[in-house]
Amino acid sequence: MRTLYFITSNKGKFLEAKEKLLPLGFSVVQKDLGYPEVQAESLEDVALQGITHVRMGFHEPFMLEDAGLFIEALHGFPGVYSKYVFFTIGLPGILRLLSGVKERKAIFRSVYAYSEPRKKPIIVFGECKGIISMKKQGTHGFGYDPIFIPDCAEKTFGEMTVEEKNQFSHRAKALEKLINVLKDSK
């Protein structure tokens, strides 16, 4: 069993990753080291800055993840600012911004960054297209899950179990790519 540290304070992200990696022989350990989430142009920039920061004091193989919700009617907002927006205006604020808007297309994007000492970081991406619901629905998941309905689904991420969510999730798609890279590096 290979130990892989997941640098995150988010229990939901950790549980999603652990669920996917455990059957593949990875023991995933949550490590809340904290790192500054710079306000950058892209999720990749945020992840690479996180890698650089964590590498200064942590010398084991680790991964971190950053994600954003990009709403078409809001010209991609909140995007890379999703965490900040979530903690300032929350779901009610996003729903207010979309009040009266019929076109509610959105994309969840995720980037996983994987690091081993003295090696170039590995960056992988995943995305999930969907729409923003008219109201908050469900109590599962975290963040924007209760207002995001993925394409080909009838309920929000907030109404899905972890297993159901992982069938659609941007994070799960990016993690699948990372798993393939890690399998090839054994």
Contact yes or no for 149/131 (Cβ under 8 A): yes
Distance CA 150, CA 108 (A): 9
**β-pair type (105-115, 78-79):** unpaired
Torsion of CA 42, 45, 46, 50, to 10 degrees: 170
pLDDT at position 107: 98
Per-residue pLDDT of the chain (186 residues; tens, 9 = 90+): 788 899 999 888 898 888 888 888 888 999 998 777 777 889 999 999 999 999 998 999 999 999 999 999 999 999 999 989 999 999 999 999 999 999 999 999 999 999 998 899 999 999 999 999 999 999 998 899 999 999 999 999 999 998 899 889 998 899 999 988 887 765
What number does CATH give the domain 2-184?
A: 3.90.950.10
Q: What is the pTM of this model?
A: 0.87
Domain locations along the chain:
2-184
| Closest CA relative to residue 182, chosen from 74, 38, 25 | 25
User: Could you give the residue numbers annotated as active site?
Assistant: 66
**Rounded distance, CA 150 to CA 121, Å?**
30
Nearby residues of 136 by Cβ (< 8 Å), 6 or more positions away? 91, 92, 95, 146, 147, 158
- Per-residue pLDDT, 185: 67
The DSSP 8-state label assigned to residue 142 in this structure reads S
Angle (nearest 5°) at CA 87 between 174 and 28: 35
Which residues, in sequence order, are CB contacts of 152 under 8 Å at separation 6+?
168
Count of beta carbons in the 10 Å neighbourhood of residue 143: 21
* β-bridge mates for residue 110, sequence order: 67, 126
CB 150 within 8 A of CB 129: yes
- Taking the C-alpha atoms of residue 113 and residue 65, their distance in angstroms, rounded to an integer, is 6
